[in-house]
Every structure is written in C-alpha cells, then in structure tokens.
C-alpha cells in the first residue's frame, strides 16, 4: 500500500471532531500533531514510525503517533475511520442507529431495593420497548438508604426471577446486582453469590470525594475482581439542575487512563449511564474509554418502567464519542451476553 498523507489524516480527524461538537482542547492535539508532521522531514518521520519513536517528538502523543504510523503504512487510521462515521450523520440519526441495535438493558432496579415497581412490571415494560432481556440489578447490602439486598433476600429474588421467567419466555430477566464498591475496592456481596449471578455491575456510591490515588486504586481493584462485568456510572457526578438542590454533584477524581486501561485489560464494560441527571461518564471520559478499547454498556439505571426509555440519551452521547454497536455489550442477544459474562478470568 502506498503511504497516505499523515498530516492530512490528522487534520481530517480534527475537522470531524469539531463538527461533532468536541471541545476544542481535545481537538487541538490533532492540529498540533499535524503541524509537527509538516515540520519533520519525511525520511525522519518514516524512520521514527518504524522504530516506534514518534512520541519523542514534542507534540506527538500515543494516539496521534498511532495515526501517523498507520497513515504511513498506507492504512486508513482506525481513529479516523471512527470519527468519519460521524461525518454527514446527524446526531439524531447516529444515536437512533445505536438505539436500534440495543437488545436489552443491563442496569435496572425494582421495588426490592429503591425502585418503584415490581420486577414483573419492569420486565413487561422492557419487553414492550422491544428488548429481549433486562438484567435486574438491585442494590447490595451496605446501601441501606436504597434498601440494599442482603444475601438472603438476593437468594430469594433469584427464585422469584426463575418463576417469572417461565411466564415471560422468550423474554428473559437475567439475574444481577448493582454491587457497591467498598472503600478498599472489594465488592459488597458474598463472592459465591456474585458467581451465581448472570451479570455484576460494580458502582461507587460512598465516599465519592476520596483522594484521587485512593479512588483510582479502589476502582482498579473492583474492575480486576473476577465477578465484575460492568463499571457503573464511573464518576458518580450529578449534572447541574439535579441532585443536592440543583447544585449537582462534582465528578469523583481518579486516573481515568489507568481505570479504563484496567477495564480494557479485564474486559469489563464501561457503563454509559443514561439517567438525565447522571449522563455518566462525561463525553471527554467516554471518548477516552473508547480510545482505550473498552467495551460499553448503554444502560438506563431505571427505577421505574418509563425510565427504561431513557436509553436514547445514552445512545446520543455514545454516538458523539465514537461508540459503534460492535463495542456495546447489550447490543448482543442474551446468549452472547451470558457467554461474555462467564468468560474466563
Ligand atoms: Zn448506582
Ligand atoms: Zn443503579
């Protein structure tokens, strides 16, 4: 393959990102890198690309160096391909395509914890929305304000779900939990019980303001737990106009590159939480997760049947951040999803 023009590829990426309303500081890296490529003799660029030393040039980072390398090889850079999908596609259309690909919802509460409706009503509403399945993820014991389920109540819930599933077939309620990530990074439920569940969402709900290093270690520990499948609402933020009298809640602080690298390594999906007061992760972090190669779960965190229809909000953000259906775990059918949650770790 004959080499492409790496500076042109970098500028094209910047253009596509700008059109997708990315903040200009995110885009600047690509324009800066293009200028570096302009200044560097072609022979030096080729030599550095094959030696893997492009990042020694000031102004080239890991992502932009990869773009240059692929471009010089004559390949359309993967990053460019991803942002090009934004091209000419109105946001609503891209989001609708993503929404149409979803076959279930992996984060749903019932009145067993802090939801407002019985399991059966949540399941029926999900089925009416066209889903093949929902994963029931009520809270874990330590979240007492949300009536977190003790091991006994969760075991009891498993029997109830099994009985409901015989009535609702072929629709399926998959068993699960939204498990608190304890301060030390351990999970707030008996490991043997977690092992029995179809899917585990792990979320931070307590001490959201702990120092950055501690929070990073806490989240990485949870992500590396062999029972964890999805990292729930990773920053814990509440956007302005909601929560705490409308003042919102700031994001918790952690090293997102480290946490998302762990998610990619342990094949844990990063949740796109569709709740309008959460919309978590924020776009800059979601794009980082996509770049890290993470899988994504676009979930509603519904606490009532009507909230199951919030997925389009998550889909819009996901589309803007370059998430494609092949990266989304709930674009799989139930069997594929279960094959993934029972992956060897
Ligand atoms: Zn939660
Ligand atoms: Zn939840």
Query: Can you give the pTM of this predicted structure?
Result: 0.79
Yes or no: say if 263 and 294 are a contact pair by the CB < 8 Å rule.
yes
Ion ligand 1 residue ranges (Cβ < 5 Å): 203
What are the beta bridge partners of residue 302?
108
Note down pLDDT in tens along the chain; length 345 residues. 788 999 999 998 988 887 776 777 778 899 999 999 999 999 999 999 999 999 999 999 999 999 999 999 999 999 998 887 765 567 788 899 999 999 999 999 999 999 999 999 999 999 999 999 999 999 999 999 999 999 999 999 999 999 999 999 999 999 999 999 999 999 999 999 999 999 999 999 999 999 999 999 999 999 999 999 999 999 999 987 776 677 789 999 999 999 999 999 999 999 999 999 999 999 999 999 999 999 999 999 999 999 999 999 999 999 999 999 999 999 999 999 999 999 988
In the reported structure, the alpha carbon of residue 222 is separated from the centroid of ligand 1 by a whole-number distance in angstroms of 14
Go through the chain and tell me how many residues it has.
Answer: 345
Distance from C-alpha of 214 to C-alpha of 186, rounded to nearest angstrom: 13
Q: Which ligand is nearest to the CA of 202?
A: 1
**What is residue 86's three-state secondary structure?**
coil
In the reported structure, the alpha carbon of residue 296 is separated from the centroid of ligand 1 by a whole-number distance in angstroms of 16
Q: What is the CA radius of gyration of the chain?
A: 21
3-state helix, strand, coil in the chain (%, to 5): 50, 10, 35
Ion ligand 2 residue ranges (Cβ < 5 Å): 178, 301
Q: Which ligand is nearest to the CA of 109?
A: 2
Residue 214 CA to chain centroid, in angstroms? 21
**What is residue 135's three-state secondary structure?**
strand
Q: Which ligand is nearest to the CA of 301?
A: 2
Distance from C-alpha of 228 to C-alpha of 235, rounded to nearest angstrom: 17
- For residues 162-188, one letter each, b for 16 or more C-beta atoms within 10 angstroms of the residue's C-beta and e for the rest, the string is eebbeebeebbbbbbbbbbbbeebebb
Distance from C-alpha of 341 to C-alpha of 345, rounded to nearest angstrom: 10
In the reported structure, the alpha carbon of residue 24 is separated from the centroid of ligand 1 by a whole-number distance in angstroms of 31
Distance from C-alpha of 331 to C-alpha of 106, rounded to nearest angstrom: 11
């Amino acid at each position: 393959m004959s080499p492409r023009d790496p500076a042109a590829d970098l500028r094209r990426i910047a253009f596509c990102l700008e059109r997708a309303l990315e903040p200009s500081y995110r885009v600047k890296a690509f324009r800066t890198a293009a200028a570096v490529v302009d200044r560097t003799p072609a022979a030096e660029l080729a030599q550095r690309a094959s030696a893997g030393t492009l990042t020694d040039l000031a102004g080239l980072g890991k992502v932009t160096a990869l773009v240059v390398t692929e471009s010089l090889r004559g390949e359309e850079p993967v990053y460019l391909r991803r942002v090009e999908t934004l091209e000419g596609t109105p946001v609503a259309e891209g989001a609708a395509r993503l929404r149409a690909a979803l076959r279930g919802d992996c984060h749903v509460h019932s009145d067993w914890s802090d939801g407002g409706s019985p399991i059966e009503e949540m399941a029926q509403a999900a089925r009416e929305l066209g889903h093949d399945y929902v994963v029931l993820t009520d809270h874990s014991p330590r979240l007492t304000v949300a009536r977190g389920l003790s091991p006994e109540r969760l075991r009891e819930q498993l029997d109830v779900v099994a009985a409901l599933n015989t009535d609702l077939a072929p629709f399926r309620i998959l068993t699960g939990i939204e498990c608190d990530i304890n301060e030390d990074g351990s999970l707030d439920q008996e490991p043997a019980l977690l092992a029995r569940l179809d899917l585990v969402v792990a979320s931070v709900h307590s001490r959201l303001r702990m120092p950055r290093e501690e929070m990073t270690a806490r989240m990485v520990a949870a992500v590396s737990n062999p029972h964890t499948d999805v990292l729930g609402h990773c920053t814990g933020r509440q956007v302005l106009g909601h929560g705490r009298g409308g003042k919102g809640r700031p994001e918790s602080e952690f090293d997102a590159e480290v946490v998302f690298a762990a998610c990619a390594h342990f094949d844990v999906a990063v949740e796109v939480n569709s709740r309008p007061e959460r919309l978590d992760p924020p776009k800059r972090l979601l794009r980082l997760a996509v770049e890290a190669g993470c899988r994504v779960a676009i979930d509603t965190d519904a606490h009532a049947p009507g909230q199951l229809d919030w997925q389009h909000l998550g889909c819009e953000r996901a589309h803007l951040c370059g998430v494609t259906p092949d990266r989304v775990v709930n674009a799989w059918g139930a069997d594929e999803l279960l094959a993934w949650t029972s992956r060897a770790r």
